[in-house]
Amino acid sequence: MRAQDEALTLLQKMKKYDIITKTLFGFEELLATELRELGATNIEVLNRAIKCSGSQELLYKINLLSRTALRVLVPIATFAASNEDKLYKKVRDIDWSTYLGVDQTFAIDATTHSEIFNHSKYAALKCKDAIADQFRDKTGRRPSVNTEDPDLRINVHIADKLVNIALDSSGEHLDRRSYRLSRTEAPINEVLAAGIILMTGWDGKSHFIDPMCGSGTFAIEAAMMASHRPPGMFRHFAFEKWSDFDARLWRKIRAEAEANICTPTSKIVANDLDAHAVSMARQNAARAGVGKLITFANQDFLATHSEAGAGVVVMNPPYGERLQHDGLTAFYNEIGTRLKHFYEGFDAWIISADLRALKFIGLRPSRKVALFNGSLECRLHKFELYSGSK
């Protein structure tokens, strides 16, 4: 048995440990609800993250099943460091052989909000040296760095002098669901789309319409949600390479999640004016295994009307910064008019990075939420389209 296998990590031996799950700005409460449903305890809401207690099973489940998680971290050390040498020393004091074998590769992601550590890359370099030097002193060899596909991804977060070191159990961010290979311009982040759908309170049974679907993200996330498909079912996770990886437990969790998949009764609609976008959305949906659950059409929203019955319209119309659109404000005004006269009984949720254009919808929002699509600040407005809405 290899040394790294013998040294089954502390994580496996400890029944419960802290887990920090990162999310997008504004999604903390949604994530907290998801984590509670997955069995997390001691939930603490942080800025763009939730801290909770849980077991290895919970760690695997969050990665596979959470729709609003971006990455799942397991903290292993917290300390104060007033300069780079102290950072190096403290990182070197951690027994890295617990987590990493000398033949394995590692990578460090560092974020710093600190006047002392104002270059995150330099802080990462110091941590990398500390880890490599510890192995060199003990074994005469150093593990290699692999930033693309490391065996162990280490997360370093520094706020002022406070350093948090954590193991990243996700690897690639969890919004990379692996179904969206075809991208139209200005696609919405998958986690952002899923969180918005959760925010709408859509029950998975009434109609769901994205009349400007682009690459199809909203409709695909809605279909995955309504059919209980795990968002992470097509991808791998960093914890699968950890020395304490429990393949049996992982197979059991996956099998249970897959057995839960059902066929929804709701009608999910994805339309777009651009035929190329519709074709991409179709391909992406097929890759996500939900192609048959979505009705696609190449249609101008301004010539459509709602399905009979109630439901939710979610749309992300073009906006100035990333998509050129002449007469954007007039266009937004036409969207509002179309919603008012042809989508009665529906709730419409519109997300846009063009805060000025949103005002031209001409209906009174019953809710306004600030969100970010990448670095773009957006607003999500809810319009309740009852008869005679203003």
Instruction: Give the binding site for ligand SAM (CB under 6 A).
Output: 184, 186-188, 211-212, 214-215, 217-218, 272-274, 277, 300-302, 316-318, 323
Q: Cα(317)–Cα(272) distance, rounded to whole angstroms?
A: 10
Closer CB to ligand SAM, 34 or 272, in the complex: 272
Q: Indicate the residue among 4 and 271 with the shorter CB distance to ligand SAM.
A: 271
Q: CB of residue 90 vs ligand SAM: minimum separation in angstroms? A: 42
User: Hey, what are 108's tokens?
Assistant: 């460090």
Question: Quick one: 35 or 281, whose CB is closer to ligand SAM?
Answer: 281
Kindly state the helix (H) or strand (E) to which residue 92 belongs, with its residue range: helix 84-93
Q: Supply 101's token pair.
A: 């074998």
Asked if residues 73 and 155 have their Cβ atoms less than 8 Å apart, the reply is yes
Judged by beta carbon, residue 185 or residue 256, the one nearer ligand SAM is: 185
Closest distance to ligand SAM from the beta carbon of 218 (Å): 6
CA 287, 293, 296: angle at the middle one, nearest 5?
Answer: 85
| Nearest to ligand SAM of 187, 230 (CB atom) | 187
Q: Is 84 exposed, middle or buried (0-12, 13-18, 19+ CB in 10 A)?
A: middle
Minimum Å gap between C-beta 325 and ligand SAM is 7
Written as six digits, the tokens of 186 are 């200005």
- Comparing CB distances to ligand SAM, the nearer of 26 and 150 is 26
Smaller CB separation from ligand SAM, 188 or 290: 188
Q: Which is nearer to ligand SAM, 75 or 320 (CB)?
A: 320
d(CA 379, CA 387): 25
State which residue has the least CB distance to ligand SAM: 214
Q: How far is the CB of 224 from ligand SAM (least distance, A)?
A: 14
CB of 213 to ligand SAM, least distance (A): 6
Separation of alpha carbons 243 and 235, rounded Å: 19
Minimum Å gap between C-beta 334 and ligand SAM is 8
Distance of closest approach, residue 359 Cβ to ligand SAM, in angstroms: 18
Question: Among candidates 74, 65, 76, 70, which has minimal Cα distance to 35?
Answer: 65
- 314-351 burial by CB neighbour count: b if 16+ within 10 A, else e? bbbbbbeeeeebeebbebbbbbbebbbeebebbbbbbb
CB 107 within 8 A of CB 261: no
In whole angstroms, the minimum distance from the beta carbon of 69 to ligand SAM comes to 19
